[in-house]
Each structure stands twice: as structure tokens, then as C-alpha cells.
Amino acid sequence: MGHQHFNGLKTAALFGVLWAVLLGVWAIFGRGSSTMLLLFVGFGLVSTAYGYWNSDKIAIRAMQARPVSEIEYPAMYRIVRELSTSARQPMPRLYVSPTAAPNAFATGRNPRNAAVCCTEGILQLLDERELRGVLGHELMHVYNRDILTSSVAAAVAGLITSLAQFLMFFGGGGSRDRNANPIAAIGFALLAPVAAMVIQMAISRTREYDADEDGAKLTGDPLALASALRKLEYGVKRAPLPQDQRLVDVSHLMIANPFRGAGMAMLFQTHPPMAQRISRLESMAGRPLA
């Protein structure tokens, strides 16, 4: 599928910047400490692999979701089965979370190990057409391998933060170089983790745009998803999730940012502004939502 906003290219460029920040931290602080770098990289790889392999279990447990049958939720099953068949992909496992906060997410390391979860709140809020738009979006996260993308981005950002903090406090070959500017080095060490977090959030936002576009193409109904996003924007404001760390850790998977946020907090959100997402979907349909 071609993406009219070049989201795949943006993701690749952001990953390039993220790796450049990592190399910058190492160039300033880490010369001569190859063993320590390898230890950090090794730990990052292990933690990333664990999170990626168990992404479905972690998210489902955090949302206290339960598997549901077709008898309980026939519309949800019918929509997902139709979209999976249209995409020539296997049917994922379906879950429902007993929370009034309207949201949905899909997770799993590949289509054969995927899970789609809706909250009770979103099932009550949306009509069937809008729910179809949301489920199309979520399935495309799985088909586009966005769980792997977000896992790698989180791992590199975490590595930058840990490495900068360790090398700033315990020193590295580069930090002791007599030509180095210690004030500039400390400033870079403080700013690098912030930059890494901002880039990680930007990668997440490009994947949301991608899932919006590809999900709308899968359903053939961009305005249905636009209508759902508009309802979700107000629904989340009325019933946000609590700032529990387990929920914060999986919030990037959800179709709508489940927390309240404003001002500088918007910079670190994993989701693009709803107005921009809706505008792009309306552009795909060739007309604004009535």
C-alpha cells in the first residue's frame, strides 16, 4: 500500500536520528569503554525480545481483559472475521476489557499470534460502522508489524537514557578527553534522553497515521474511522484511564491516548492530535465529515 503522507519514510528517518543520538552519546562519553557499551546493548536486546515476544500477554493483563466468544459479541467477531479474510490474514483472538474508558488495541508479534481488545466503553460508544473503522485500524497495526517497530524504538530510547546517565556519572573515555568541553558534554547527556523520548513518540505517531490510512483502505470507509475518532476524543475526556504505570506502559498500543494531556505534555504523547488524524481521513474520502 502506498501512503499518501510517506509515513514509512518518516519512520525510517526518525530511526536514523534516534541512532545518531545514540552514537553521539557514545562518541562524547564512551570511547575506550567498549565492554560497557556491549553490556548495555546486550541488556537492551534481551529486554526488547522479552517485551516483543510477550507483548500480547503484557497488554491484556494490564487492561484486565478476558477472552470472549462469538455468542457474547457477535458483531465484533463478524467485523474482525470479514476484515481478516479481506486482508488474507488469520483470525486474531478477541478480548474485552471491563472498563468504561472507550478504547481499543491490537497486539502480538505477528498475525498468527495477534490479539484484538476492545473496552466495554468503546463497544457502548460506537455504532457498528464506526467500530468497523476502529477494528480495521487495529488490525493494520498487526499487519504492519508496528509492535516490532515500537519495541525497537523503545529499546533504543531506553539505551540512550541509561547509557547517558551511566557515562555522565561514572565517566567514559571521551568525557576525560582534554579537548572535551565538560559543560557541553553534561548538557548533551541531559538533553539526549529527552531527544530520544521525543523521537520515540514521533515514531509512534507516524505509525498511528499509517494505521489510520491503511485501516481506512482495508474497510473502504475513511469517514467511519473519522467519526469514531471524534467520539473517542470526547469519550476519553469524560472517562480517562488512571495514570497507573502498567497502563502507561501499554498506552501507545491504544487507538486513542487514554489519558488527559495538555501543553508540554502533548510533546510526549504517543498519539497525533485527533484533529489532524480526522482531517487526513476526510482528505482520503474527498470530503469533510458531515
Cβ density class 78-102: b for 16+ within 10 Å, e for less:
ebbeebbeebebeebebbbbebebb
Widest Cα–Cα separation across the chain:
72
Q: For the purposes of burial, counting CB atoms within 10 Å of the CB of 220, is it exposed (0-12), middle (13-18) or buried (19 or more)?
A: exposed
Q: For 205, what's the count of Cα atoms within 13 Å in the CB-facing half-sphere?
A: 20
Distance CA 56, CA 117 (A): 10
Chain position carrying cell 515514531: 203
Dihedral (CA of 74, 75, 76, 79) sign? positive
Distance CA 122, CA 283 (A): 25
Q: Give pairs for 265-270: CB < 8 Å, separation 24+.
A: 267/198, 267/201, 268/197, 268/198, 268/201, 269/201, 269/205, 270/201, 270/204, 270/205, 270/208
| Active-site residue (options: 72, 120, 138, 282) | 138
Cα R_g (the chain), whole angstroms = 21
Distance CA 202, CA 182 (A): 30
Q: Give the strand order in the sheet containing 115-119.
A: 66-67, 93-97, 115-119, 104-107
The answer to whether residue 82 is catalytic is no
Please list the active-site residues. 138
